[in-house]
């Protein structure tokens, strides 16, 4: 009966070897199918399970290895079409999956919404009705409270500030419309509008950037070390581990028992990943080819590319640069204790603006610079974990992204010379979306703003 | 003792802007209708500013016309000036405004009503309603006449327990020293209705001969006036200008020094005034950093010397008004003809109404206009029309008629009133309409003519013309979607002249028209239609194509809204039976009695979880019925 397709992570977060993202609604199967590489899910029998891969449709990279359960209504919990995507447990992978599903058009379910749909579609009998209503009440209120409490006080203040700025802008536009002859009020121009939207745009962008940083703080920065044989990859690892007292964790229960090593670099937890055996397989490019290695490496947040100061740049090195094009890398030219044969200028050209550090790891030279470069890459050099205003709630991040999108629409409207009162539709929408984050979307406030900000009337 | 004075289908009490539309609509739909009004010389009188239309309000006038109402037709015949406002902005907010000839407007309206079959006009003061078994059956006048009817519409404006205040002078009165209606108001209270006290005000009028216009700026009308009614074909060309002047520090000083004498500030006035129509003393106090305020000098008609001093609404004593006026450039020697005044009056708390404008507590009784807490002639007329249509529906056993928020400003207004109520006199603003891009001045006919036709308000002939226009619009859009324009010299030149970037390859005419700098005339020049199209067809084609993206976005929002609007709440729902709804929401639901889940969600103080629970409860009822069968 509801047109929306809803989705949520339906297993406890961060626990268990497997996590499940569930979708319910008319679009559940088509959405899953658009992300799924394997059989055509729209054609499979109901209540069957399928192995395959989830592909990020924008980058075309493999995001997850999954098992997908397809269950068609009405023989499901909600009586709608339901798809359950089983992926590896662990916050990062399941969040990524959820984000992809949301990006494909599903809406994040409200608390208790699956149950509500089950009820509305007649799945639950009458005797359970009251319990369901209590549940919705409790869950919705609680979720709102929790979300609000979760939210950093500074974040909510910042959002309120952005909303106020937007509101003043909108009120200004409205006044021009409703009181066209009042010369007390300056006419809002495209230039004024672009300035305002730009300011807010950057603030939201910063929030999203910090959300990414927040994620890094919680989950660690997945880091891969690559390079030709014998350039000093092991020394690099040892140096980082030695310097920073590596925590070696063994996270059991996932299908591939991955060994991950955490080191703490200036407050940033570096997670030295070895899921694809990148670090140990020295000749990755040769083994699986440029494109494949690229896909594997894209999963890392940071790549440390190690070169030999005492050798000329080889074709293999050049291939590695191709592989990491556009990714976050730090180039480490190691073994400065040897006689220089490498052309640093050429490397800088290949690095294309990304940091190049020279080290002699055996002699423990250059490690400081390297650590600084790592910190710079992700926090513009100013990391103070205690002072970050970051958004952690998926719903909030989703709303911020939508807000950014509607601001983008507004800005392109301005560029196309659309009338201000049309552009304003998108600005108002942004204001509403930001309001949803802090639970305030009362339309009346616009009219109040109108009359307190301007002297109007006949 | 009363005497039986006659039986009607519909009785309308009041002959203002709401009353005239209500009586006409009911009669025009075929209901035998009686209008009772205090003074037949004052039909559709404008007690405040001599103008009709403006942003949002002007669109309402167009909507009234598309639904077969009168306001547009009457003003088109009696304006002294016409201006299109917001021409530099988008099509959604363009707004027509007319300066009215007040006496002529009355004459024209009276003549139309007098000639309407099924409508009887009578001068009378209504004192009581006849209510039997909780249903309204008629009215009783002060002359003891008892009139019976299936539907009664009250449109008494600011007359109910009206009180005029000028400085420390205060007396019982309707606007412009007409008789106040006291007994009816008391009677409504007796019947259990919740009334609220509102206030509004009006500025002084001065004699035109005593104004030095050389010190003011002229404000002329448009050279090619547009019109409100889709039936109007002839323009009035000898328009009369308005004039603009400003208050200054001396004016503000007079106000400051006499503030304690203003009824607004001395505590004389208890009612709530509208924020969008503040008195000059309010403006000076609240925005004391403003060095000046605009004052528009507006003629009240062609054959009168009275000038309405717009911007100087006040409740100061008469001598202070005179002193204030004389500080203003051009008004140094002005003579007041009528002093400005504030007026307090009773209005009905509008959440007591169904969206049909029928009162929930007493079937057969409707209210419309300023009595429902609104302000403005257009707002009143829009409600009057809707109440008249629904009053006739009830009497004739036809379906009731409600416009939703995506169909008309009238729908936005009535939904706001009956769902949220209002704590100040309500005025329509474009910002109240969330789908204002769909509720344009230019497309009121496309939105509403068919509806007007179906309820018997639009003639066969007019409907035919409308259908032809609609067809032409569709055909031309289809044609432009087919025509490919190649980057020929001619095409590039037209684009270049408009300041656009040259074509790289052939493009559909429709796509080219989407560019902001391209006008329909340019397209027409490059690829003319088979026959010359009427200007309003061209206008529609251009707007619908140019703003397609935004229009589509609005339509999506409407779809989402309608989904909730179509979830109907059963009439007999017992909110006390629903566990889990917060007490505040429960009280609101009981009071407003929303017709749909959509309406329920718009009530202020209702949380999303309350709406969810309501939804679940309704579905539960549905399931219960299914399983009982």
Please give the average per-residue pLDDT across B306-316, as a whole number: 95
Q: Which two tokens stand for residue B595?
A: 């017709």
For residue B230, the model assigns a pLDDT of 94
At residue B375, does pLDDT exceed 60? yes
For residue A219, the model assigns a pLDDT of 63
For residue A220, the model assigns a pLDDT of 67
Residue A127 sits at the chain B interface (C-beta within 8 Å): no
The residue extents of the domains of chain A are 6-109, 133-210+391-441, 219-379
At residue B303, does pLDDT exceed 80? yes
Please give the residue of chain B at the shortest CA–CA distance from A182: B294
Among A174, A422, A427, the strongest candidate for a mutation testing the B interface, having the largest count of B CBs within 10 A, is: A422
When CB atoms are compared, the residue of B55, B604, B608 closest to A178 is B55
Q: Which residue has the higher pLDDT, B140 or A176?
A: B140
Residue B615 sits at the chain A interface (C-beta within 8 Å): yes
Q: Would you say A43 and A121 are in contact if contact means Cβ atoms under 8 Å apart?
A: no
Domains of chain B, CATH where assigned:
3-199+344-454 (3.50.50.60), 205-342 (2.40.30.260), 472-552 (1.10.10.1800), 567-620 (1.10.150.570)
How confident is the model over B543-567, as pLDDT tens digits? 999 999 899 989 988 988 888 898 8
Q: Report DSSP letters for B470-508, one per residue.
A: HHHHHHHHHHHHH-EE---HHHHHHHHHTTPPPPSS-EE
Say whether B123 sits in a helix, a strand or coil: strand
At residue A436, does pLDDT exceed 90? no
For residue A179, the model assigns a pLDDT of 85
Sign of CA dihedral A370, A372, A375, A380: negative
For residue A144, the model assigns a pLDDT of 46
The b/e string for A282-306 (b: 16+ C-beta within 10 A; e otherwise) is: eebbeeeeeeebbbbbbbbbbbbbb
For residue A278, the model assigns a pLDDT of 44
Question: Per the annotation, does A22 bind a ligand?
Answer: yes
Q: What span, in angstroms and rounded, lies between the C-alpha atoms of B397 and B360?
A: 18
For residue A255, the model assigns a pLDDT of 26
Q: Which one, of B20, B17, B27, lies nearest residue B389 by Cα?
A: B27
Q: Which of these ranges, A342-351, A363-372, A446-455, has the smallest mean pLDDT?
A: A446-455
Angle between helices B608-628 and A113-120 (to 10 degrees): 30
For residue A284, the model assigns a pLDDT of 56
Q: Which two tokens stand for residue B163?
A: 């009180």
What percentage of chain B has pLDDT greater than the value 70? 98
| Residue A433 Cα to chain centre, angstroms | 18
B72 Cα to chain A: minimum distance (Å): 20
When CB atoms are compared, the residue of A130, A180, A456 closest to B85 is A180
Quick check: A141 and B553 CB within 8 A? no
At residue A134, does pLDDT exceed 60? no
Mean pLDDT score of chain A: 76
Q: Which two tokens stand for residue B25?
A: 């609509």
Residue A134 sits at the chain B interface (C-beta within 8 Å): yes
Integer angstrom CA distances of residue A6 from A45, A401, B271: 22, 18, 49
Question: Per the annotation, does A336 bind a ligand?
Answer: no
How confident is the model over A229-262, as pLDDT tens digits? 778 777 787 777 665 443 333 333 222 233 446 6
Quick check: B612 and A140 CB within 8 A? yes
- Chain B 37-66, residues with CB within 8 Å of chain A CB atoms: 49, 55-56
In the CATH scheme, what is the homologous superfamily, with its name and number, of domain A219-379? P-loop containing nucleotide triphosphate hydrolases (3.40.50.300)
Say whether A110 sits in a helix, a strand or coil: coil
Please give the average per-residue pLDDT across A442-457, as a whole number: 58
Q: Would you say B360 and B353 are in contact if contact means Cβ atoms under 8 Å apart?
A: yes
When CB atoms are compared, the residue of B277, B431, B619 closest to A458 is B277
For residue A261, the model assigns a pLDDT of 60
Residue A133 sits at the chain B interface (C-beta within 8 Å): yes
Please give the residue of chain A at the shortest CA–CA distance from B57: A178
Burial of A345 (0-12, 13-18, 19+ CB in 10 A): exposed
Among B201, B405, B579, B609, the strongest candidate for a mutation testing the A interface, having the largest count of A CBs within 10 A, is: B609
Locate all alpha helices (DSSP H) within A224-268, ordered by sequence: 233-244
Residue A181 sits at the chain B interface (C-beta within 8 Å): yes
For residue A302, the model assigns a pLDDT of 86
Q: Which residues of A touch B431 (CB under 8 A)?
A: 174, 177-178, 446-447, 450
Q: Which one, of A152, A164, A359, A387, lies nearest residue A267 by Cα?
A: A387
Quick check: A455 and B290 CB within 8 A? yes
Q: Who's near B129: CB < 8 A, 6+ residues apart?
A: B136, B138, B139, B140, B152, B187, B191, B362, B365
A133-210+391-441 folds as: 1.20.120
- Chain B 139-198, residues with CB within 8 Å of chain A CB atoms: none
At residue B275, does pLDDT exceed 60? yes
Q: Which residue has the higher pLDDT, A128 or B135?
A: B135
CA neighbours within 13 Å on the CB side: how many for B356?
A: 21
Among B291, B296, B550, B603, the strongest candidate for a mutation testing the A interface, having the largest count of A CBs within 10 A, is: B550
Residue A116 sits at the chain B interface (C-beta within 8 Å): yes
pTM: 0.78
Q: Which of these ranges, B109-113, B150-154, B312-316, B494-498, has the smallest mean pLDDT?
A: B494-498
Q: Report DSSP letters for A278-295, one per residue.
A: TTT-TTHHHHH-HHHHHH
Question: Per the annotation, does A238 bind a ligand?
Answer: no
Omega prior to B399 cis, within 30 of 0: no
Please give the average per-residue pLDDT across B397-426, as a whole number: 96
At residue A384, does pLDDT exceed 80? no
Residue B616 sits at the chain A interface (C-beta within 8 Å): yes
When CB atoms are compared, the residue of B287, B547, B612 closest to A422 is B547
For residue A297, the model assigns a pLDDT of 77
Number of neighbours of residue A230 by Cβ within 10 angstroms: 12
Q: What span, in angstroms and rounded, lies between the C-alpha atoms of A344 and A342?
A: 6
Please give the average per-residue pLDDT across B42-71, as a whole number: 97
C-alpha radius of gyration, chain A, whole number: 26
Please give the residue of chain A at the shortest CA–CA distance from B91: A419
Q: Report DSSP letters for A199-236, one per residue.
A: HHHHHHHHHHHHHHHHHHHHH-EEEEEEESTTSSHHHH
Q: Which residue has the higher pLDDT, A263 or B25?
A: B25
Residue B85 sits at the chain A interface (C-beta within 8 Å): yes
Quick check: A418 and B95 CB within 8 A? no
Burial of B601 (0-12, 13-18, 19+ CB in 10 A): buried
For residue A91, the model assigns a pLDDT of 67
For residue A320, the model assigns a pLDDT of 84
Please give the residue of chain B at the shortest CA–CA distance from A171: B431
Banded model confidence at residue A451, pLDDT cuts 50, 70, 90: low
Q: Which residues of A touch B278 (CB under 8 A)?
A: 455-457
Sign of CA dihedral A133, A134, A135, A141: positive
How confident is the model over A179-238, as pLDDT tens digits? 888 777 778 888 889 999 999 999 998 888 777 766 666 666 778 888 877 787 777 877
Q: Which of A146-155, A309-318, B277-286, B394-403 has the highest mean pLDDT?
A: B394-403
Q: Which two tokens stand for residue A280?
A: 């140990």
Please give the average per-residue pLDDT across B192-214, as a whole number: 96
For residue A245, the model assigns a pLDDT of 40
For residue A367, the model assigns a pLDDT of 85
A6-109 folds as: Gyrase A; domain 2 (3.30.1360)
At residue A117, does pLDDT exceed 70? yes
Mean pLDDT score of chain B: 93
For residue B53, the model assigns a pLDDT of 97
Please give the average per-residue pLDDT across B255-284, as a whole number: 86
Number of neighbours of residue A377 by Cβ within 10 angstroms: 18
Q: Which residues of B touch A432 (CB under 8 A)?
A: none
Q: Which of these ranges, A212-226, A403-417, B284-298, B512-526, has the smallest mean pLDDT?
A: A212-226
Q: Which residues of A touch B294 (CB under 8 A)?
A: 181-184
Question: Per the annotation, does A276 bind a ligand?
Answer: yes
Q: Would you say B598 and B608 are in contact if contact means Cβ atoms under 8 Å apart?
A: no
Q: Which residues of A touch B544 (CB under 8 A)?
A: none
Q: Who's near A177: CB < 8 A, 6+ residues apart?
A: A421, B55, B86, B89, B93, B430, B431
For residue A250, the model assigns a pLDDT of 35
At residue A388, does pLDDT exceed 50? no
How confident is the model over B328-372, as pLDDT tens digits? 999 999 999 999 999 999 999 999 999 999 999 999 999 999 999
Q: What span, in angstroms and rounded, lies between the C-alpha atoms of A5 and A3?
A: 7
Q: Which one, of B263, B268, B14, lies nearest residue B153 by Cα?
A: B14
For residue A217, the model assigns a pLDDT of 61
The DSSP call for residue B160 is B
For residue A279, the model assigns a pLDDT of 44
For residue A180, the model assigns a pLDDT of 84
């Amino acid at each position: 009966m509801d047109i929306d397709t809803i989705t949520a992570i339906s297993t406890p977060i961060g626990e268990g070897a497997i996590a499940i993202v569930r979708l319910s609604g008319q679009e559940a199967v088509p959405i899953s199918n658009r992300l799924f590489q394997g059989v055509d899910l729209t054609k499979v029998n109901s209540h069957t399970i399928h192995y395959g891969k989830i592909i990020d449709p924008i980058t075309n990279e493999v995001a997850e290895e999954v098992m997908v359960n397809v269950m068609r209504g009405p023989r499901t919990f909600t009586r709608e079409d339901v798809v359950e995507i089983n992926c590896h447990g662990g916050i990062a992978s399941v969040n990524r999956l959820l984000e992809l599903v949301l990006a494909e058009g599903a809406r994040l379910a409200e608390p208790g919404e699956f149950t509500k749909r089950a009820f509305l579609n007649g799945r639950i009998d009458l005797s359970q009705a009251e319990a369901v209503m209590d549940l919705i009440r409790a869950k919705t209120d609680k979720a709102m409270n929790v979300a609000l409490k979760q939210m950093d006080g500074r974040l909510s203040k910042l959002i309120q500030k952005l909303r106020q700025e937007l509101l003043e802008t909108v009120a200004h536009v409205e006044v021009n419309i409703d009181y066209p002859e009042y010369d007390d009020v300056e006419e809002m121009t495209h230039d004024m509008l672009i300035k305002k939207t730009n300011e807010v745009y950057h603030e939201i962008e910063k929030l999203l950037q910090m959300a990414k940083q927040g994620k890094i703080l919680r989950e660690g920065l997945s880091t891969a070390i690559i390079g030709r044989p014998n350039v000093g990859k092991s020394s690099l690892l040892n140096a980082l581990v030695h310097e920073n007292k590596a925590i070696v964790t063994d996270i059991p229960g996932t299908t591939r028992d991955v060994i991950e090593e955490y080191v703490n670099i200036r407050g940033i937890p570096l997670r030295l990943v070895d899921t694809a055996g990148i670090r140990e397989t020295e000749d990755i490019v040769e083994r699986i080819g440029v494109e494949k290695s690229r896909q594997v490496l894209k999963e890392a947040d940071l790549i440390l590319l190690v070169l030999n100061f005492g050798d000329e740049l080889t074709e293999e090195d050049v291939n590695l640069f191709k592989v990491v094009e556009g990714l976050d890398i730090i180039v480490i030219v190691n073994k400065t204790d040897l006689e220089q044969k490498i052309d640093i200028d050429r490397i800088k050209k290949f690095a294309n603006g990304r940091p190049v550090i020279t080290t002699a790891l055996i002699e423990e030279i250059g490690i400081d610079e390297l650590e600084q470069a790592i910190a710079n890459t992700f926090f513009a050099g100013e990391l103070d974990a205690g002072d970050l205003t970051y958004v952690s709630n998926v719903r909030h991040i989703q709303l911020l992204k939508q807000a950014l999108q509607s601001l983008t629409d507004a800005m392109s409207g301005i560029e196309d010379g659309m009338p201000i009162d049309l552009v304003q539709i998108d600005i108002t929408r942004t204001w509403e979306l930001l309001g949803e984050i802090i639970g305030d979307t009362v339309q009346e406030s616009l009219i109040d703003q109108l009359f307190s900000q301007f002297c109007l009337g006949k | 003792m009363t005497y039986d004075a006659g039986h009607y289908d519909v009785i309308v009490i009041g002959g203002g802007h709401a009353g005239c539309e209500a009586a006409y609509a009911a009669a025009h739909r075929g209901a035998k209708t009686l209008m009772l009004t205090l003074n037949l010389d004052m039909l559709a009188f404008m007690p405040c500013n001599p103008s009709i239309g403006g942003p949002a309000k002007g669109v309402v006038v167009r909507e009234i016309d598309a639904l077969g109402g009168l306001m547009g037709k009457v003003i088109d015949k009696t304006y002294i000036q016409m201006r299109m406002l917001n021409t530099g902005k988008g099509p959604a907010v363009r707004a027509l405004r007319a300066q009215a000839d007040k006496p002529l407007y009355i004459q024209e309206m009276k003549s139309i009503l007098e000639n309407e079959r099924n409508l009887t006009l009578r001068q009378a003061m209504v004192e009581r309603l006849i209510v039997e078994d909780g249903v309204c059956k008629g009215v009783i006048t002060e002359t003891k006449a008892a009139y019976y009817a299936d539907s009664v519409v009250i449109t008494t404006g600011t007359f109910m327990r009206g009180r005029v205040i000028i400085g420390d002078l205060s007396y019982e009165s309707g606007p412009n020293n007409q008789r106040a209606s006291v007994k009816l108001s008391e009677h409504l209270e007796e019947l259990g209705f919740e009334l609220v006290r509102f206030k509004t005000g009006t500025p002084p009028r001065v004699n035109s001969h005593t104004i030095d216009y050389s010190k003011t700026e002229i404000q002329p009308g448009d050279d090619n006036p547009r019109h409100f009614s889709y039936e109007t074909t002839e323009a009035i060309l000898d328009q009369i200008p308005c004039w603009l002047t400003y208050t200054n520090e001396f004016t503000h000083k007079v106000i400051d020094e006499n503030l304690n004498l203003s009824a607004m500030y001395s505590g004389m006035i208890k009612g709530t005034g509208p924020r969008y129509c503040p008195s000059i003393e309010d403006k000076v106090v609240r925005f004391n950093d403003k060095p000046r305020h605009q004052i528009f000098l507006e003629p009240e008609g062609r054959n009168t010397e009275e000038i309405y001093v717009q911007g100087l609404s006040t409740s100061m004593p008469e001598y202070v008004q005179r002193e204030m006026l004389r500080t203003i450039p051009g008004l140094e020697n002005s003579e007041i003809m009528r002093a400005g005044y504030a007026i307090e009056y009773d209005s009905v708390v509008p959440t007591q109404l169904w969206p049909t404008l029928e009162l929930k507590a007493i079937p057969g009784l409707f209210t419309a206009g300023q009595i429902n807490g609104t302000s403005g002639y257009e707002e009143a007329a829009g409600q009057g029309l809707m109440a008249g249509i629904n009053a006739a529906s009830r009497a004739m056993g036809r379906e009731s008629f409600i416009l939703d928020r995506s169909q008309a400003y009238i729908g936005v207004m009535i939904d706001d009133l009956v769902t949220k109520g209002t704590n100040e006199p309500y005025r329509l603003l474009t910002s109240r309409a969330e789908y204002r891009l769909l509720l344009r001045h230019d497309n009121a006919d496309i939105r509403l003519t068919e509806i007007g036709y179906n309820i018997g308000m639009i003639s066969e002939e007019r409907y035919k013309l409308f259908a032809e226009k609609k067809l032409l619009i569709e055909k031309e859009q289809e044609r432009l979607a087919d025509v490919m324009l190649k980057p020929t010299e001619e095409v590039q030149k037209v684009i270049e002249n408009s300041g656009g970037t040259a074509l790289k390859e052939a493009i559909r005419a429709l796509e080219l028209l989407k560019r902001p700098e391209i006008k329909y005339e340019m397209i027409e020049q490059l690829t003319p239609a088979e026959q010359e199209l009427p200007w309003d067809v061209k206008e529609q084609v251009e707007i619908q194509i140019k703003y397609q993206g935004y229009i589509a976005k609005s339509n999506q929002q409407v779809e989402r809204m309608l989904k909730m609007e179509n979830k109907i709440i059963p009439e007999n729902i017992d909110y006390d039976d629903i566990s889990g709804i917060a007490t505040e929401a429960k009280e609101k639901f009981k009071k407003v009695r929303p017709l749909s889940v959509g309406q329920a969600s718009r009530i202020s103080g209702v949380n999303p979880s309350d709406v969810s629970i309501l939804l679940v409860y309704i579905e539960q009822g549905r399931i219960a019925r299914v399983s009982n069968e």
